[in-house]
Structure 1
Amino acid sequence: MSAPLLVEEHDDRVVLRLNRPEVRNAIDSATVEALHDACAALEAAPRVALLIGTGGTFAAGADIAQLRERRRDDALAGINSGIFDRVHRLPMPVVALVDGYALGGGAELAYACDFRIGTPATRIGNPEPGLGILAAAGAAWRLKELVGEPLAKEILLAGRVLDADEALAVRLLHEVVAADDLEPAGHRLADRITAQAPLAVRLTKSVLDAPRDAHPLVDNIAQAVLFETQDKTDRMTAFLDRRKGRP
């Protein structure tokens, strides 16, 4: 049996490939376990992550065969919500590269990422109520923050599935590119992120995610840490030298 998640290591980034193309990368328990392992590695050695599906689909949802058998205690355990929240809280940004379907749990995984790049074939939405359940792995609250309450309600309560142009118009997708340019587009974005000071990116992400009543204290503490770094001194010195025309 092939691994449900393929991990491709680079010095400053990791490519994570959902690898169940025979079921359109449906997210099963083995995928969840593999994502936990990948998150543990990224927590230990923070890098940008690119998350992509194999076979022309991001993830068509949770594995319905497994989902049908889950009961109360499984729901309370937060199997999918737990891993998606862990993805969201990774130290460095995560970029979802969304080709084809991102439905149900697949959409919720994409929502948990910091960026989403799509293709003209992208279709994203949450049809859970049609299966007698709700989108309980983040969409019920995260989607409202991403696209606003009116559209979130249409997606979550009326089964609307957004195409690529619609998702781009509401900034649920940050960019739409041709399918053969999807992974290169992800690397271009990763290049822009990794050109920044790594610790500044990490702390900015943490400050962005902090609750409102934590500000401005968390901003000041994060800035205090950064003010003491050699990276800050070196980058500001280089900026001033360039402005003075020094080599």
Structure 2
Amino acid sequence: MNYDFLQCEIEDNIAIVTINRPPLNPLNTAVFNELGSLMSELDMDPEVKVVIITGSGEKAFVAGADLHQMMNLSHVGMMEMNKISRNVFSQIENISKPVIAAINGLALGGGLELALVCDFRISSEKAKYAFPEVGLGIIPGGGGTQRLQRIVGQGVAKELLYFGDMFNADKALDIHLVHKVVPADEVLQTAKEWAGRLAEKPIMALRMIKTAVNTGANVDIESGLTIESACFSNAFATEDRKEGMQAFVEKRKPVYTGQ
């Protein structure tokens, strides 16, 4: 896996993806294309059970989109970049494996949108957050207006989007934007610990939970229950289900094979 702006290490069934454009790790078309390609590889890799996304250095997770590129784009060019970003964010959101954002610093604009498409968000106590787009005369274009309100509620989302103010990790935790806040030097290790626990779970069960939750969030309750039923059936048909139930009866730790 050779990329210009990404680093990827795989250890103990966990892929650690680092966006490497220091010091602020801004997103541009090249980064989006690389993320899309890498995520496809990791999704298909049977050795990878969990993905962690983080930023290089200590200053930023991702401090937004690359404004230098955006300023020089025509309207048509900007719409093309926006389409690429939206597609890649949706790809990350719906990859068949759990994805954890290890937020080591600034998560602004597109960087916060990237964090929102991850299943879990572990934040440094020094991290800062904002959707500052309104101050630039634009709005979030990578799904921020839609995903944010689904996580924090419409009222809080409007406050953050309308004013564009920066806020700290404690507020991010209070509004349930992030799942856990830890000291700066413990962010990646905490993400690895969460990933390690997830890697021990039966793969198909996790996949079906993610499918049921993500897909069900966008339909009515009856349709969601139908989706859940289909996912339940798929999980029940696995060898891991048999092993899990047998291990429970025998009072031992299950040994899952991903089958």
Q: What TM-score range do you get, normalising by the shorter chain?
A: over 0.9
**Aligned: 1:17 with 2:18:** yes
Q: Is the 8 A contact 2:33 2:84 kept in 1?
A: no
Displacement of 1:182 in angstroms is 0.9
Please name the residue that 2:145 is paired with. Answer: 140
Please name the residue that 2:128 is paired with. Answer: 123
In structure 1, which of residues 64, 69, 72 is the aligned counterpart of residue 67 of structure 2?
Answer: 64
Q: Could you tell which deviates more after superposition, 79-88 or 139-148? A: 79-88
Task: Report matched runs for 1:104-115 at 5 Å.
Answer: 104-115=109-120
Q: Partners of 1:225 and 1:159 in 2: how far apart?
A: 43
**Aligned: 1:84 with 2:89:** yes
Q: Partners of 2:89 and 2:51 in 1: how far apart?
A: 14
SS in 2 for 1:121: coil
Displacement of 1:118 in angstroms is 0.6
Q: TM-score, normalised by structure 2?
A: 0.89
For each residue in 1:53-103, what CA deviation from the matched residue of structure 2 results, as whole angstroms up to 9, or x when unmatched? 011110111000001122332343312222111111111111111122100
AA in 1 matched with 2:9: E
AA in 2 matched with 1:92: K
Q: Is the 8 A contact 2:14 2:196 kept in 1?
A: no
SS in 2 for 1:133: coil
Q: Partners of 1:71 and 1:141 in 2: how far apart?
A: 25
Q: Partners of 1:47 and 1:228 in 2: how far apart?
A: 20
For each residue in 1:115-161, what CA deviation from the matched residue of structure 2 results, as whole angstroms up to 9, or x when unmatched? 11111111111101111211010111110011111111111111122
Q: Partners of 1:13 and 1:155 in 2: how far apart?
A: 33
SS in 1 for 2:33: helix
Q: Partners of 1:71 and 1:131 in 2: how far apart?
A: 16
Where in structure 1 do 4 or more consecutive aligned residues deviate above 6 Å? Answer: none
Task: Report matched runs for 1:171-182 at 5 Å.
Answer: 171-182=176-187
Please name the residue that 1:230 is paired with. Answer: 239
Q: Partners of 2:128 and 2:110 in 1: how far apart?
A: 13
Q: Partners of 1:222 and 1:102 in 2: how far apart?
A: 33
Q: Partners of 1:153 and 1:160 in 2: how far apart?
A: 11
For each residue in 1:183-231, what CA deviation from the matched residue of structure 2 results, as whole angstroms up to 9, or x when unmatched? 1100111012112111100011000011333322211111112222111
Displacement of 1:18 in angstroms is 0.6
Q: TM-score, normalised by structure 1?
A: 0.93
Please name the residue that 1:28 is paired with. Answer: 28
Structure 2 residue runs of 5 or longer lacking an equivalent are 253-259
For each residue in 1:151-177, what CA deviation from the matched residue of structure 2 results, as whole angstroms up to 9, or x when unmatched? 111111111222000001111111111
Q: Is the 8 A contact 2:102 2:121 kept in 1?
A: yes
Please name the residue that 1:241 is paired with. Answer: 250
Identity value in percent: 32
Two-structure CA RMSD over aligned residues (Å) = 1.5
Structure 1 residue runs of 5 or longer lacking an equivalent are none
Q: Partners of 1:71 and 1:118 in 2: how far apart?
A: 36
SS in 1 for 2:201: coil
